[in-house]
Amino acid sequence: MPEQQEPSYAHGTGATALLGDTIGRNLDRAIAAHPDREALVDVPSGRRWTYAEFGRAVDEVALGLAAHGVRKGDRVGIWAVNCPEWVLVQYATARLGAIMVNINPAYRLHELAYVLRQSGVEMLIASTEYRSSDYRAMAAEARADCPRLREVVHIGDPEWDRLAADGAALDAGYLTAREAELSCDEPVNIQYTSGTTGFPKGATLSHHNILNNGYFVGGTVGYTEQDRVCLPVPFYHCFGMVMGNLGATSHGACIVIPAPVFDPGATLHAVQQERCTSLYGVPTMFIAELGLPDFASYDLTSLRTGIMAGSPCPVEVMKRVMGEMHMAEVSIAYGMTETSPVSTQTRRDDDLEARTETVGRVLPHLEVKVVDPTTGVTVARGTAGELCTRGYSVMLGYWDEPDRTAEVVDEGRWMHTGDLAVMREDGYLAIVGRIKDMIIRGGENVYPREIEEFLYTHPKVSDVQVVGVPDERYGEEILACVIPRDPADPPTLEEIDAFCRDRLAHYKIPRHLRILSGFPMTVSGKVRKVELREQFAASAGAVSGAVSAAG
């Protein structure tokens, strides 16, 4: 009989047990163990907190919220760019058992009002203004349409200072009594996923979900109280608040805020000034940092690790990050908001291939499998299918939307990611695309990631995204959207065709080309492929040559 292939299933084991704490109790452990070590540094303002000072500041905000009527289960919105107050609100709401609602700082009035209404936010804590966003004016206007919203507090205004001062009237034992009533399985956070169709969904996460995920992500890169973690990624996203903040405090490490929003120069300045040992980012952030004209002038020798997530990292970029940025132990992480977020991660001693060709292997206490998207049956290793994950990290559900929850979390509590993956024989996973991104050309399944990785090696290509566009003959045809290395000398379709010929199957060769100056992005740094498809679908037939377009 032929040898039966191993199924695409793996479960994570480890010697370290899951944490049974609430976030507040876990912070108390860090404060007791490391009272005099730095917990939080805000480079723009120069403010610093030791763990003991950070704990007192968190308690002040928690008591202030309580004095303003916030109780267990109440929703408190946070709509702000990265700042220390964001972090204080995160831990203060957790202490009270309130549910913090993360609101994307790029949201405008329509999106803000939807999130406030859908989650039932009672108090909103917001920035005042940043760049073109007037948060004060938008919050005032949204309030008229949100009857449950009873108070708005703007960071930096006197009302923020009053909030903390008002808590002084409460007894010091108030928080201890409140925390004694909390379970780690209760909701503590709602994060809105940027859906490609319809309104975003509020992934509801518990203390157990996000505390453990931050703890094991940090443990996988070897965090101790000696580490200093530079976070240019947004706090409103799991990357910042879970993998970053909770990943640091659960190990007694220090959170370093380089700037309110991503700035490559400010990021490297913070790493140098604060002697950071770890740096986070999506690949485009690292590309921007490496591309600074004065990159070589920064002393980055304190770095040893970091986390890269959000999208695949080109091989040449990874080589420079590991070499020129001294991040020999940099880790690739894969996940989604609904799984708190990380399911798989590369290990500290993995080779270059694992860091660029895979998203690592399953984390401790989690399960992953790859299934046939149609039948749900687990496929053999080496076969593409939908990646599913199960365990402590799977969200409680979408807030107040059980039907939408049932669409992605099945009866066995498996979260269906919508990502197409291949599990190797060694258990490492490669993401080959989204089910919705997969291009079906003349009956052939085409995975954009494979073509993108190949086109990255073209000497005239700086960045590339491949999408499918409608085609009368083949159903879909392949469009390459390219950012050239030299805008004055972009590649032509003929050059792309010649580069691909004899090295890619004929049906994988792009038939259309768009030259762009940039890609539409989410705030968390992911390319919005759906926008590229929509933008160029109608004109695909007219872009078979090297046509320039503003990005």
What does the alpha-carbon distance between residue 424 and residue 489 come to, in Å, rounded to a whole number? Answer: 40
Question: What does pTM read for this prediction?
Answer: 0.85
What does the alpha-carbon distance between residue 5 and residue 121 come to, in Å, rounded to a whole number? Answer: 51
pLDDT for position 550: 32
CATH homologous superfamily of 439-548 equals: ANL, C-terminal domain (3.30.300.30)
pLDDT for position 551: 32
Integer angstrom CA distances of residue 192 from 109, 112, 354 = 15, 11, 31
pLDDT for position 311: 77
pLDDT for position 130: 87
pLDDT for position 543: 42
Integer angstrom CA distances of residue 329 from 220, 245, 314, 319 = 10, 20, 17, 12
Which CATH fold topology does 50-182 show?
A: Rossmann fold (3.40.50)
The rounded Cα 29 to chain-centroid distance in angstroms is 26
pLDDT for position 369: 98
What does the alpha-carbon distance between residue 446 and residue 438 come to, in Å, rounded to a whole number? Answer: 6
Three-class SS state of 273? helix
Tell me 5's DSSP state: P
pLDDT for position 393: 98
| 163 closest CA partner among 255, 85, 260 | 85
| 103 closest CA partner among 197, 40, 211, 193 | 193
Query: What residues of the chain score a pLDDT lower than 70?
Result: 1-3, 194-198, 523-525, 539-551
Other C-beta atoms closer than 10 Å to the C-beta of 227 total 20
Q: Name residue, tokens 């004109």.
A: 539
* Domain chopping of the chain, boundaries: 50-182, 439-548
